[in-house]
Structure 1
């Protein structure tokens, strides 16, 4: 399963009401580190399949969710479980580190 985009309008449905844990990648087009981790997140989405959904939220186009969850720097990844914020990771990391963090939190 590949990563998907979410918006402020669909955040409630895509993330908070999801049946599986959801990793939200808060990113922006101009953010170099965000673009660096994008391919890793795509691969992790494929590898972990049905265990987790990975969604991306463009903070420039969608300012509400980043404000609500206190996102101050990007990339910020927030893992939601049962509609609740379960874990947060700020900054770019190698794919292995991202995957280990996700698996530890699941």
Structure 2
């Protein structure tokens, strides 16, 4: 998983090509930290066709708000720089996340 910074987000995600999965999380988010090992496993499983990234929103609050990340965890799929799909905190189960990834795994 590529660790994004507010400086690298635009280049890696908004100007990126193809499917890019971004895990928005923070140090203070226990559900985020609980999901993280399983999300990393999904990155290993599907990383040959989808780029997997994570973004610690603690260090990039404005960027998160600009991306309409209003609660954590938020897991977003981008395609060619545009938001294609998103799972937010209430639906953030590993089953839902994997099912979203499979939709875009070609």
Higher mean Cα deviation, 80-89 or 45-54? 45-54
Q: Is the 8 A contact 1:41 1:54 kept in 2?
A: no
The answer as to whether partners of 2:77 and 2:84 remain within 8 angstroms in 1 is yes
* 2:28 alignment partner, SS class: coil
Match of residue 75, structure 1, among 69, 73, 76: 73
Structure 1 residue runs without a partner (length 5+):
none
Instruction: Find the aligned partners of 2:97 and 2:66 in 1 and give their Cα distance.
Output: 23
Runs of 5+ consecutive residues of structure 2 not aligned to the other structure: none
Distance 2:44 2:104 in 1: 18
| Aligned position for 1:98 | 97
- The yes-or-no answer on 1:7 pairing with 2:13 is no
Q: When the two structures are superposed, what TM-score results if normalisation uses the length of structure 2?
A: 0.89
The separation in 1 between residues aligned to 2:70 and 2:15, in whole angstroms, is 24
Counting matched residue pairs gives: 103
Counterpart-to-counterpart distance in 1, 2:21 and 2:63 = 14
Tell whether the 8 Å contact from 1:87 to 1:105 is kept in structure 2 after alignment: no
The root-mean-square deviation of aligned C-alpha atoms, in Å, is: 1.3
